[in-house]
């Protein structure tokens, strides 16, 4: 399976902008072909970010890199038309706010030159009026990817039957249907594989499994939730894409962030029972030898797994570990076995939208 490679950046102020420009210079040396830029507008919703976005776009073009832009509606409203010349565009509320009106989406599609547009939408906009509107304007949705939140969760007022019918209708307008499986808080578990048909789903008012989503025609998933190793293994056995293991850092001090930012770590240092990553000489205290031996036994080499140093999540106190899962490769299982059960936060990224995170050497 072909995996698209790229780097992920978050733009939220002038300092992050300068770092991004520096990192773009390095991207080219890694034989990567794209960057993914997420604009944090909730915390710093200022028009000066617009100029930074344009300068990053210009830099990417100079380096012949494809750029994917993720912004919310508030940010897109201040952008000029050249933002639509990007090959891919993600439109999503970066603070979890989903698009409420298809009219705005259609306007973006109408003037866009993007080959692939991803719109994060909520079930509340998929009503009779919205579907009629899609029917009238259907040609403008041909490159549109609908990403449904909460694992196609059945919200109050929407029956399973309505949900299934809605998906069938939307498939007439867009073949790019995506869904979240799991939730951010990790309070809901996957329905077991005992449910093997859509009929078996009709009495359920919960999240649905990977296999059911496939039966419904949704083959592109984002899995986001607190998962133990058994669930990690189950999803891995069902998937043909990339998995991301996320480990929470309890200590979110500036000093810790700086150590992560400037460190050159290429393997797991240590994880204690609370899922805290410890940097430094902690071999005896934290059992680093066991983890190192596991790496050697399972032939997990440098490059198979990378830890990012600042590209994502430092402000939230997270450290991310990434690997690919392709052609029966079981590395993700081996890595999952090393990490304590119930400490993993796994996100499934689809083949088309895969962002491969790496640590700069």
In a domain, 327, yes or no: yes
Question: Which pLDDT band holds residue 66 (cuts at 50, 70, 90)?
Answer: confident
- The answer as to whether 48 is a domain residue is no
Q: What SS3 class is residue 259? A: helix
Domain extent for 296 = 231-347
Max Cα distance, the chain (Å): 66
Token readout for 336 is: 């999952």
Q: Using pLDDT thresholds of 50, 70 and 90, give the confidence band for residue 260.
A: very low
Q: Which residues of 126-146 are buried (b: 16+ CB within 10 A; e: fewer)?
A: beeebbebbeebeebbebbbb
List Cα–Cα distances, 341 to 59, 224, 344, in angstroms. Answer: 42, 16, 7
pLDDT digits (tens, 9 = 90+) for 216-247: 666 555 444 333 344 444 544 544 443 333 33
Query: Is 309 within a domain?
Result: yes
Q: Is residue 325 part of a domain?
A: yes
**Is 62 part of a structural domain of the chain?**
no
User: Do residues 143 and 169 touch, judged by C-beta distance below 8 A?
Assistant: no
- Strand 66-71 and strand 34-39: pairing? parallel
Exposure string over 208-234, b if 16+ CB within 10 A, otherwise e:
bbbebbeebebbbbbbbbbbbbebbbb
- Is there a domain that residue 332 lies in? yes
d(CA 156, CA 140): 30
Domain membership of residue 294 (yes or no) is yes
128 part of a folded domain: no
Distance (Å, rounded) from C-alpha 277 to C-alpha 270? Answer: 6
- Cα(180)–Cα(64) distance, rounded to whole angstroms? 32
pLDDT tens per residue across span 24-59: 776 665 555 666 676 765 444 556 777 888 888 888
> Does residue 259 surpass a pLDDT of 60?
no
Q: Report pTM.
A: 0.40
Q: Residues 188, 206: contact at Cβ < 8 Å?
A: yes
Domains identified in the chain, total number: 1
Q: What are phi and psi of 348, to 5 degrees?
A: -90, 125
**DSSP H or E run through 1:** none
């Amino acid at each position: 399976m072909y995996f698209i490679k790229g780097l992920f950046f978050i733009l939220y102020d002038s300092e992050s902008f300068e770092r991004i420009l520096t990192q773009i210079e390095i991207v080219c040396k890694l034989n990567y072909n794209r960057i993914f830029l997420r604009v944090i507008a909730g915390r710093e919703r200022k028009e000066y970010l617009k100029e930074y976005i344009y300068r990053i776009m210009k830099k990417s073009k100079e380096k012949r890199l494809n750029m994917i832009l993720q912004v919310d509606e508030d940010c897109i409203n201040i952008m000029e038309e050249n933002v639509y010349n990007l090959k891919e565009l993600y439109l999503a509320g970066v603070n979890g706010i989903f698009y409420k009106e298809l009219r705005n989406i259609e306007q973006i599609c109408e003037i866009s030159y993007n080959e692939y547009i991803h719109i994060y939408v909520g079930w509340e906009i998929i009503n009779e009026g919205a579907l009629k509107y899609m029917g009238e304007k259907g040609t403008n949705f041909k490159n549109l990817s609908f990403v449904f939140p909460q694992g196609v969760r059945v919200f109050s007022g929407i029956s399973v039957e309505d949900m299934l019918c809605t998906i069938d209708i939307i498939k007439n307008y867009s073949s790019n249907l995506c869904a979240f499986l799991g939730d951010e808080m990790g309070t809901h578990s996957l329905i077991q594989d005992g449910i093997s048909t859509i009929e078996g789903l009709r009495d359920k008012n919960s999240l649905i499994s990977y296999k059911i989503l496939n039966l419904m025609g949704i083959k592109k998933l984002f899995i986001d939730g607190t998962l133990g190793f058994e669930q990690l293994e189950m999803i891995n056995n069902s998937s043909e894409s990339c998995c991301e293991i996320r480990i929470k850092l309890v200590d979110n001090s500036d000093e810790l962030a700086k150590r992560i930012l400037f460190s050159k770590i290429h393997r797991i240092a240590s994880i204690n029972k609370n899922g805290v990553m410890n940097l430094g000489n902690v071999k005896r205290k934290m059992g680093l030898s066991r983890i190192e031996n596991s790496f050697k036994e399972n032939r997990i080499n440098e490059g198979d797994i990378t830890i990012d140093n600042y590209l994502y999540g430092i402000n939230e106190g997270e450290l991310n570990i990434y690997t690919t899962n392709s052609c029966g490769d079981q590395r993700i299982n081996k890595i999952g076995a090393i990490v304590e059960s119930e400490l993993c936060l796994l996100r499934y990224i689809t083949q088309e939208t895969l962002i491969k995170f790496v640590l700069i050497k």
